[in-house]
C-alpha cells in the first residue's frame, strides 16, 4: 500500500474508534448536589443531547433537575421520564425545573419526545 492509502485506512480506523467511543465509551456520571432546601439539584444543558447525561441521585429525597434548553431544534422540545410519569415541554433558552422524589433504586432512562436523545438517572440507596 502506498502512503496515501495507509493514511486513508488509518483515518477510517480513527473515525470508527471515535464513533465507538462517542456512543459506547464511559460516561461521566454527575452526582446531584444538595441545595439549601435539602433538594438534590442538578443543572442539565440540552443541546443535541443532555449534558450531563448520567445523573446520580439518592432515593427518597426531593430531586430538582434544571433543564436549560440551549437550542431551538425541535428534537429536544420535550423531555420524558417514563418511569416517573413525567413529560415536560422545554421552551428554548429557558430553564425548566422538574421536581420529583425518586422512590425506587435503579437506572432510569430519560429521553426526548422521539426517544432519540437519551440520558440516564441512577437512583442509589440513601445511605
Query: Where on the chain is the footprint of Cu ion (CB under 5 A)?
Result: 75, 112, 114, 116
In Å, how far are 101, 110, 123 from 85, measured between CA atoms?
A: 12, 11, 16
CB of 108 to Cu ion, least distance (A): 18
Work out the number of other CB atoms within 10 angstroms of the CB of residue 78: 15
Nearer to Cu ion, 32 or 79 (CB): 79
State the minimum distance, in angstroms, from the CB of residue 113 to Cu ion.
6
Cβ-contact 89, 98 below 8 angstroms: no
CB of 80 to Cu ion, least distance (A): 10
57: β partners: 123
* Cis? peptide before 52, omega within 30° of 0: yes
Comparing CB distances to Cu ion, the nearer of 57 and 112 is 112
Helix and strand numbers (H, E) in the chain are: 1, 11
Give the residue with the Cβ less far from Cu ion, 87 or 116: 116
CB of 110 to Cu ion, least distance (A): 12
**Of 35 and 94, CB closest to Cu ion:** 94
Amino acid at each position: 500500500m502506498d502512503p496515501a492509502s495507509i493514511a486513508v485506512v488509518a483515518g477510517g480506523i480513527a473515525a470508527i474508534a471515535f464513533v465507538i467511543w462517542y456512543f459506547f465509551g464511559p460516561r461521566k456520571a454527575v452526582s446531584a448536589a444538595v441545595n439549601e432546601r435539602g433538594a438534590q439539584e442538578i443543572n442539565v444543558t440540552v443541546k443535541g443531547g443532555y449534558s450531563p447525561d448520567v445523573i446520580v441521585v439518592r432515593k427518597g429525597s426531593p430531586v430538582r433537575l434544571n433543564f436549560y434548553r440551549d437550542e431551538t431544534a425541535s428534537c429536544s422540545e420535550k423531555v420524558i421520564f417514563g418511569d416517573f410519569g413525567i413529560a415536560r415541554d422545554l421552551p428554548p433558552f429557558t430553564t425548566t425545573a422538574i421536581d420529583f422524589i425518586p422512590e425506587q433504586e435503579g437506572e432510569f432512562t430519560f429521553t426526548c419526545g422521539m426517544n432519540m436523545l437519551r440520558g440516564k438517572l441512577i437512583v442509589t440507596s440513601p445511605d
